[in-house]
A and B are shown apart, each in its own frame.
Chain A
């Protein structure tokens, strides 16, 4: 087994554990590179079928390329596709810094979807290497009634034994690619020929490294126009992956606050 096979196998194991132990699952499909890898892994885990809905929590402010991609592959991959619209900005906590306030819409949309469909667990494509509070996540991460993350008292999790039973009202975030890195994602995308949104590739000396709402996401300088070139670029860069995501950097502990409140 190569190290990449080992990553894949671990993710498949997580998908299958969740499917065996938790009812009413859905997968969050943000349309980005990570969640596309996640869908591909689910198809491998379940031999071509994705046996739960793929949910897009839509802020309405994504790039057009993202919507085009979504409409094409929801059909091509035969996904049970669901879309949830996020509430308007005016309803969000005014004390949050502007970008965080905008990002909070997604958390609110997520809560709406959970209520509407009664999901007990959601697969989310976050990774430990993305950001410091995500590095502290469990694979099966319980959220309280309002979706809050109690990072001060997380359940023990070891030897691939996951806590899957919770009191009514708790829901789970399940993280099948928590152990992957950004480079792993691109190498796997290349190996498995997984389609990606063209915004990741350099145009006029700039590319998006991480995709979010068009008004709070910024491109980086880059000449990488293919997946291979992106992998080569990552080998040398010392810039953080989410440097172009405004809500991460507004104030110390700001992103932690967002995440504690249920942001991904």
Chain B
């Protein structure tokens, strides 16, 4: 069930042919099949007859363009596949349409490939779809790309023209971080340099197309990566309860302890089931295998849970960055809700923000927060609950996903977790079996004594926006008005409760969790806790809102320019000088609150005005109105 015996054949290499419309993709394939003697009997004759019927010279593309509409219009509409082989190995050639309106079909074809041939017209050079296809291939994780400069006959087989194009496309692909495995001059129509070296291009001392193909590496195995086994289904056809799925990466063997995410449950593999049944024990399986697993204990598990080993689990987060390509009819804008499918899991996501829109043809950045059909964008997505995620850079198969718009697959993308904290430790802390004891003083009794409710005002904003100034002024005012009130300030907490934490993303996130828990205790005790924290991540603030019962988010919203001009602690200057890493606003993002209860533009209004609004806000929402007077609205 595991290793390939030495005599086993090499796997066929699926290779996609891409490029601008009319640069000769289908012709290259037709000619390649002919030159390698791979056309079925009678095919060349039937293509000749079809060509004559349409009053055309022999059209190689007819070998592939199977649909009547394709032959009539001389274009490729949908992707197709055809087999051929050289002495070295078997190939699956995937023809992909070049027309921009068939981009979804191009992607359908390209996604099945492990290598790509980019076809480029020697006369025209690189065009929109030349760049767009290359860019999308890279986004889809294709690493191996070879370039064919076709129609060399049209430029008199000139070496200089070839060199010019080779250098310019080389630069373009290099900018996209694509590795180029070779660039060769051919004339597909004339059969020059396809399977035999061209007499017209004796100056080209490189390979023929077939030799270039044979030099491309086999697709790499995923077995050496950490185990990822997404649950596809749970079967109970007989007395066995079998967890079915395909191992996407890594290896799994009987006796392994598995960790399931995001539920964070764990169990041991008692057996690997198969049909027909096997005798023996100690079975194992590796990446790519469809398996059935039985566990040593009954866990409630569902399709979509992701099994790993405990030593190398996926990341848990409800927010992440992604680079996507969008094929949907409706443009994407922030706060749009979509369904995301990644391996076997499926969950809703909200488009939190659009960071960058790229026109895949010109590779230029497009301004605005609107992602239109056939554009590429960097976006931030938020899920309503924690999801098990891997970055595309770490695990190509698990880090990619599709987006549904209604019933349709309307886009695809790859996950990046750079800059986000793994939330598993928080989940684990919450799951620990802690039973609570109850107080003999009720919250209502506390409120009546204090004449106000307990709760938290969470002041978030850039460094220098005036959070602490306002918090301490508000504390003084409220105290004088008879409130039980206390400020939890970022700097003070760092000296005590969080003195063990550093400034990594994980530590910052943990720091905020502790502050939220501490503030929650103050609120329980009947106090108004004023939290003054930059707290730049929406996910962290959302978690605080989940922990604290009476939570009010206050965005202290002076803009970066104002804050930097103030720079009360000289921190911006140091951050700009590179002394402080990941400084919010300078080298780290500040995610502006979306649903803040109160926004104070401290860049425009003075401290007194902001303070007055804060006091009014607290008086309106925390003060208990004496008996007999109607209660305030919450």
A104 to chain B, nearest CB (A): 18
Cβ contact within 8 Å between A16 and B244: yes
Cβ contact within 8 Å between B4 and A47: no
A116 to chain B, nearest CB (A): 26
Stretch at the interface among A6-14, A23-31, A222-230: A6-14
Cβ contact within 8 Å between B232 and A240: no
> Which chain A residues in 84-121 approach chain B with CB under 8 Å?
none
A135-B80, A155-B409 given; 5 more Cβ-contact pairs under 8 Å: A8-B290, A47-B237, A47-B275, A158-B108, A252-B50
Tell me the complex Cα distance, A19–B344, Å: 13
Residues of chain A at the chain B interface (Cβ within 8 Å): 1-3, 5-6, 8-9, 12-13, 16-17, 19-20, 43-49, 51, 128-129, 132-133, 135-136, 138, 151-152, 154-159, 161, 163, 165-167, 181, 238-240, 252-253, 256
Cβ contact within 8 Å between B81 and A3: no
- For A165, the chain B residues whose CB sits under 8 A away are 407
Cβ contact within 8 Å between B68 and A252: yes
Cβ contact within 8 Å between B108 and A163: no
Cβ contact within 8 Å between A154 and B11: no
Cβ contact within 8 Å between A136 and B78: yes
Cβ contact within 8 Å between A13 and B290: yes
> Which chain B residues in 268-305 approach chain A with CB under 8 Å?
273-276, 286-290, 292, 303
- The residue on A at minimum CB distance from B141 is A159
- For A3, the chain B residues whose CB sits under 8 A away are 8-12
For the complex of A and B, 8 pairs with smallest distance between CB atoms:
A132-B66, A158-B111, A12-B290, A156-B104, A253-B68, A3-B11, A238-B41, A165-B407
B105: CB under 8 A from chain A? yes
A183 to chain B, nearest CB (A): 9
Tell me the complex Cα distance, A9–B276, Å: 15
Tell me the complex Cα distance, A77–B79, Å: 37
- For B275, the chain A residues whose CB sits under 8 A away are 43-44, 46-48
The bracket for how many chain B residues form the interface is 35 or more
A-B contact count (CB 8 A): 144
Q: Which one of A13, A51, A167 lies within 8 Å of B246 (CB-CB)?
A: A13
B161: CB under 8 A from chain A? no
A182 to chain B, nearest CB (A): 10
Residues of chain B at the chain A interface (Cβ within 8 Å): 1-2, 4-5, 8-12, 39-42, 50, 53, 64, 66-69, 77-83, 104-105, 107-108, 110-112, 140, 232-233, 235, 237-238, 240, 242, 244-246, 273-276, 286-290, 292, 303, 327, 341, 344, 400-402, 407-409, 412
- For A152, the chain B residues whose CB sits under 8 A away are 67, 69, 77-78
- The residue on A at minimum CB distance from B11 is A3
- For A133, the chain B residues whose CB sits under 8 A away are 66-67
- The residue on B at minimum CB distance from A253 is B68
User: Can you list 10 contacts pairing A with B, beta carbon distance less than 8 Å?
Assistant: A3-B8, A13-B232, A13-B290, A129-B83, A135-B66, A136-B67, A136-B78, A136-B79, A156-B409, A165-B407
Tell me the complex Cα distance, A142–B67, Å: 18
Q: Which of A9, A159, A166 has the largest number of chain B CB atoms within 10 A? A: A159
- For B64, the chain A residues whose CB sits under 8 A away are 132
Tell me the complex Cα distance, A154–B67, Å: 13
Tell me the complex Cα distance, A1–B341, Å: 27
Cβ contact within 8 Å between A158 and B233: no
Cβ contact within 8 Å between A46 and B237: yes
Cβ contact within 8 Å between B67 and A9: no
- For B112, the chain A residues whose CB sits under 8 A away are 158
Q: Which one of B5, B69, B290, B292 lies within 8 Å of A2 (CB-CB)?
A: B5
Known interface pairs A19-B233, A156-B108. Does A256 touch B12 (Cβ–Cβ under 8 Å)?
Answer: no
- For A156, the chain B residues whose CB sits under 8 A away are 104-105, 107-108, 327, 409
Tell me the complex Cα distance, A3–B90, Å: 11
Tell me the complex Cα distance, A152–B83, Å: 23
Cβ contact within 8 Å between A9 and B66: no
Tell me the complex Cα distance, A158–B413, Å: 11
B47 to chain A, nearest CB (A): 11
Cβ contact within 8 Å between A256 and B273: no
Q: Which one of B10, B11, B66, B402 lies within 8 Å of A158 (CB-CB)?
A: B402
Known interface pairs A5-B289, A47-B292, A48-B275. Does A154 touch B78 (Cβ–Cβ under 8 Å)?
Answer: yes
- For B242, the chain A residues whose CB sits under 8 A away are 47
Cβ contact within 8 Å between B237 and A240: no
Cβ contact within 8 Å between A159 and B232: no
- The residue on B at minimum CB distance from A50 is B237
Tell me the complex Cα distance, A152–B40, Å: 26
B462 to chain A, nearest CB (A): 39
B359 to chain A, nearest CB (A): 20
Tell me the complex Cα distance, A215–B274, Å: 42
Tell me the complex Cα distance, A167–B402, Å: 20
Known interface pairs A19-B233, A138-B108. Does A47 touch B273 (Cβ–Cβ under 8 Å)?
Answer: yes
- For A8, the chain B residues whose CB sits under 8 A away are 290
Tell me the complex Cα distance, A61–B288, Å: 41
Cβ contact within 8 Å between A20 and B80: no
- For B400, the chain A residues whose CB sits under 8 A away are 159
- For B105, the chain A residues whose CB sits under 8 A away are 154, 156
Tell me the complex Cα distance, A58–B337, Å: 47
Cβ contact within 8 Å between B9 and A151: no
Cβ contact within 8 Å between A47 and B235: yes
Tell me the complex Cα distance, A239–B344, Å: 41
Tell me the complex Cα distance, A151–B105, Å: 11
Q: Which one of A1, A17, A48 lies within 8 Å of B232 (CB-CB)?
A: A17
Tell me the complex Cα distance, A181–B286, Å: 24
B222 to chain A, nearest CB (A): 10
- For B401, the chain A residues whose CB sits under 8 A away are 159
Cβ contact within 8 Å between A2 and B8: yes
Known interface pairs A20-B233, A156-B327, A240-B40. Does A256 touch B402 (Cβ–Cβ under 8 Å)?
Answer: no
- The residue on B at minimum CB distance from A254 is B68
Q: Which one of A1, A45, A132, A167 lies within 8 Å of B2 (CB-CB)?
A: A1
B72 to chain A, nearest CB (A): 9
Tell me the complex Cα distance, A223–B529, Å: 90
- The residue on B at minimum CB distance from A17 is B232
Cβ contact within 8 Å between A1 and B288: yes
Cβ contact within 8 Å between A44 and B233: no
- For B235, the chain A residues whose CB sits under 8 A away are 46-47
Q: Which one of B67, B78, B276, B402 lies within 8 Å of A159 (CB-CB)?
A: B402
Tell me the complex Cα distance, A161–B232, Å: 12
Tell me the complex Cα distance, A20–B82, Å: 31
- The residue on A at minimum CB distance from B90 is A3
- For B79, the chain A residues whose CB sits under 8 A away are 136
